[in-house]
Structure formats: C-alpha cells, structure tokens
Chains A and B, each alone.
Chain A
Amino acid sequence: MNSLYTDQLTVRIGDTTACRELSATFHPGQVWSLLGRNGVGKSTLLRTLAGLRAPTSGRVLLDKSSLDSIPRRQRARKIGILFQEQDPAFPATVLETVLTGRHPWLSPFRGEGETDIEMAQQELSRMGLKGMENRALSTLSGGERRRVDLAALVVQKTRVALLDEPANHLDLHYQVDLMGQLVGDWQENKGVVIMVMHDINLAMRFSDHLLLLFGGGEALHGQSADLATEENLSRLYGHPLRRYPASRHSFFLPE
C-alpha cells in the first residue's frame, strides 16, 4: 500500500553511524518520532529515507520499489520532506514559497493554476497566515516562516511526510494545535509521518511509534508504549529522566 520500509539500512557519514542494518517498516497510519542526541545522524537518516542521500549499504523501499529506482518526479509526489532551515538565495514571497510544493504535480509547460493557488491560500489560512501572500519571507518571524514551509509541505499532498524538527520556532499554540491537526490529517489519509523531534514530550504527544538512535549505529524501533521507558530514554539522552504519568500521556522530565 503506502508502506515505507528499510532493508538492512546502514547510514554512515564520516565517523558517525546513524543506524546499522536497520530493517524497519513504517506502516500507513503510523506517526513516528525519530529521537536521539545532537549529532547522532537523525537529519541524515531522514534525508536518506527521503531518497536525497544514498544509503551506505542496504535499501529504502516504498511500496516494494527501491527509492533509487523511482523517478524523481514520482517520488516527489509520494514523499515530502520539511527541512530544518530555509536558505533562499533570492527574496521570495510567501505565496511563491508555498506554491513550490505544487511543483511535482504541475506539467512542465503549465504554470500554477487557479486550483493550485486556492489550495495554497487555504493552507495559509489554516496556518494563520491569511493575507500575507505577498509578504517577503525575510520580513517574517521564525515561526511564521516555519508555518510557510509547513504549508508548502501540505500542498505537496504526499502520503509520506518526513519532517525535520517541525516544532522549531513555533509558538506553543501552534506546536500543540497545528501540529496536532496536521498529524491527524495525515493519519486519517493513511499516510506515514516520520518526525525528527528533540522534545520528547511533544514527540510522545503526537507519535505512536518511536525510532531511537543511540549512536554508533545502535537503534531501537517500535511502539511508543513499549519503547518509552525511563531506562531507554535516559540512556538515549545520556541524562537520567523520570517518568511522570498524567491523565492522557506520561511526561518525561530530567532529574
């Protein structure tokens, strides 16, 4: 169906091994959080899952086809990625940036049509950016720019969504409500969400599955309920954490 999975995947950059011979399946409808300390290789793994980086060994497969065998355009219609930072070389408007997400769906000779623009404006509204279509990105706050990028990812209408620290710069309200909405949408549409998160509690709030990278290639993956233990998380972050159960979720706080 829409399964993304890895087969003996090893991702190594320089001296860092993010994962070694990882075989994990990301089923449709699941929400995953990718956790680990800084520098352990989370972003690199995410990029490899997106097909932007060749694995050191092993494969990433989408619906039985290896990623490197899928033509770029097709892949872009199925997998979307939200990057950590924006770095446009030239000034761009909010609307232009959101519309870049429609590129995989537009024919080479056609420009963006009315439907595309409507879609973009709808998302902007949802993100609280209504009326800012013609603003230059440089005039926006960090949080606003993050929401623009999120909008661009949403209009890309992919089943697989890979997000690198999506909650960065976002106000609390957006962190909770917006993220909740987006994640919920993807889940409903039987999509797969994999997010790199550095806030364990936010991760626990949204995801039902975890992929923990301990460094040196060691990785654990599975349901949050099973993996989110004091032992695992303390080892993961190299700092003792204590679990505090609350009404709906548990919270993990450093000692």
Chain B
Amino acid sequence: MTLNPFLRLICSLATLLSLSFQALATVSVVDDTGQNVTLTAPATRIISLAPNITEILFHIGAGAQVVGVVSYSDFPPEALKIAGVGTYDQLDIEAILKLQPDLVVGWSSGNSAEDLKTLEELGLTVYRNESKTLEDVASSMQQFAALTGHSAMGNTQSATFLEGTLSLQKRYQDRKNLRVFYQIWGDPIYTVNGHHLISHLIDQCGGTNIFSGLETLAPVVTTESVIERNPEVIVAGVYPGPVPEWFGEWNKWSGIEAVKSDHLYTIDTNHISRMGPRILLGMQAMCEAIDKGREGRH
C-alpha cells in the first residue's frame, strides 16, 4: 500500500529539517593562513598548541572542551589540570593522537610546520592561528567561538575587548607624549623596535618607544644608548615575583630623566606578551605607567 500523501509530506519535511539541522551544525571557518577548516559539528575535544590560544578558548567559554594543552598554558588556573602535549616547538604527537581530538588549534609561526602537517596527514583537523595585532586577538575570539559553538559569547567578548582597547587609546593617546624605554630583559638589555606590538601599544598610550627606529624586532642594545636617548619612563616586562636585579641597576644612572624623577615601572609580562584577552590588562598597565610619568618628579 502506498503512503498516505500527508504522511509522505511529513516524512519529506522531517528529512528536510534534519538535513538543514545538519547543515546548521557544520562549521566552516577560514583560518589565518587562508585555509578552509570544516567540522561536521562544533568541536568538543580541542587541543591548543599555544598558551595564548588556551587563554582565548577559555575566555569565550570553550574551556571545558579543551582536552590537551602545551606547556606554559598556565592561565586560567583550570588550564593547569589539562593533559600536556609537549612544548609549543616540540609537540608530543603521540599524546595528541591518544587524546582523539576533533580539532587542533595551532600557532602558525610558533609550531613546527612539519608537525602541523603530520597531524593533518594523520587525519586530524588543524586550524592555524596567528595573532599579531589587537584586532587579530579580537577576531580570534570570534573564530574560536564559531568553531566551538559559542558564537554568542565570542561576539560579546570580542566586542568588549575591542571597546576596551579603543577606550584606553582614546583616554591616553592624546596626552603629553613621553619618551618611553621598554625592557624585556636586563642582562643583556633586550628591547623592542617599532614593528613590535608592544611598541604600538606604547604609541596608543601616548608614548614614543625610543628604539622604534631599529630594524631588529627584539634587539640587544647598549646601556650607553639608553642613557643617550634619555627616556622619561622606563617600563620592564617581568614575571610576577621579586623585581629582577637588573632593573634596579638603572638607579645608578641618575642622568636619565626617568631615574631622576623615579619613573621606573614593572608590568606583568604574561599580560603584555601573550596575544590573548589579558593583553588588555597589559595595555592598561602600560598606559597607567606612562601616565604616572606625566606627573613630574616624585
């Protein structure tokens, strides 16, 4: 006997609906290298191959879906409990395979290209991320959110983040411009040039990086050259804990304006050097430090 035409209609509709649900569930995103990454459903077992990627994933609500991280994925604290898969430059491929992920989020310039290729050849889906600017961080939030089924939160977080940066910029950029020296390390003295994100942040906080003109991204400079350029504020990116010895050395050179007026500040390097949500905190710390420099002699 043939199906009741009404029943047939309902069957077709049901098929159509389920197909469209499937289509809705399929996720397709273009990663930062231009490659199309497609998942049949939002990822539920994610491996993060860089500490900042871990932070962003947690930030957009996908923390519970992360099953593997590389070393130094130490924020938020929950990330410390996740299984380790090696270091960002030496991935533990076996560990990655054992965790049976449905998505691997890699760091395009930091991970080994061969390793990422190997993972793809072994059948895993790899999304290559590269965050170089604040806008990149915001966009990564949205991309990851799409891949993990948290689009709503992703959009919110991304917007909040961008707003935060813009508001800081608006507040500080047009204030009195100061000469700023940013220091990554003391022995030898490592700083950043104008192409570095931190240098852009200094600009947005209303400062000028005294070494912005150099060609190397993270050059080693002489003490003399710092003295000669006479910064008005010295900011060092350090790890939480006691102030490193090399930072205290600046007090010897009382000829430097920043030393004379006691405008020597340390900020948390984890904030400002990691391309994740906390860079907003880093930017805020930088702007506040430079702003204190405008107060004149202490």
Complex: A in contact with B (CB within 8 Å): no
Q: A: which residues have CB within 8 A of B? A: none
Binding site for A on B (CB under 8 A): none
